[in-house]
A = this chain, B = another copy of it.
Amino acid sequence: KPNAATSSDKGGIEGAVNEAYNKYKDLKEGKNADYIPELAKVPSEQFAIVVIAPDGKVYSKGDADAMYSIQSISKVLTLARDIEDFGPKAIQDKIGVDPTGQKFNSAVFVEENKGKELNPLVNAGAIAATSMVKGNTYEEKWNTILQTHNDFAGRQLSVNDPVYKSEAATNQHNQALASLMNSFERMYFDPAKSVDIYTKQCAININTKDLAMIAATLANGGTNPVTKKKVVSPETVAHVLPVMATCGLYDDSGIWFYNVGLPAKSGVGGGIMAIVPGQYGIAAFSPRLDEAGNSVRAQKAITDIVNKLGLNPY
A48 contacts partner chain B, Cβ-Cβ < 8 Å: no
Q: Which of A102, A104, A251, A277 has the most CB of B within 10 A?
A: A102
Please give me the residue from chain B that is nearest to A275 by CB atom.
B314
A139 contacts partner chain B, Cβ-Cβ < 8 Å: no
Task: Give the interface residue-count category, chain A.
Answer: 35 or more
The binding surface of chain A is classed by DSSP as: helix
Contact across chains for B254 and A246 when beta carbons are under 8 A apart:
yes
User: How many copies of the shown chain assemble into the complex?
Assistant: 4
Partner of A258, one of B109, B117, B243, B254: B243
List CB contacts (< 8 Å) of A96-112 with chain B: 96-102, 104, 106-112
Contact across chains for B246 and A97 when beta carbons are under 8 A apart:
no
A157 contacts partner chain B, Cβ-Cβ < 8 Å: no
Known contacts A100-B100, A183-B176, A314-B263; A258/B111 CB under 8 A: no
Residues of A near any B CB (own CB < 8 A): 1, 88, 92, 96-102, 104, 106-112, 117, 119, 172-173, 175-176, 179-180, 182-183, 234, 237-239, 241-243, 245-247, 251, 253-255, 257-259, 261, 263, 277-278, 312-314
Closest 9 CB pairs of A and B: A98-B101, A172-B183, A99-B99, A176-B180, A176-B179, A179-B179, A107-B111, A241-B314, A173-B183
Besides A102-B117, A172-B179, A180-B180, 20 more A-B contacts (Cβ < 8 Å) are: A92-B255, A97-B254, A97-B255, A98-B251, A99-B253, A102-B102, A102-B104, A107-B108, A107-B111, A107-B180, A108-B111, A176-B182, A179-B179, A179-B180, A239-B259, A242-B314, A243-B258, A245-B246, A245-B257, A277-B313
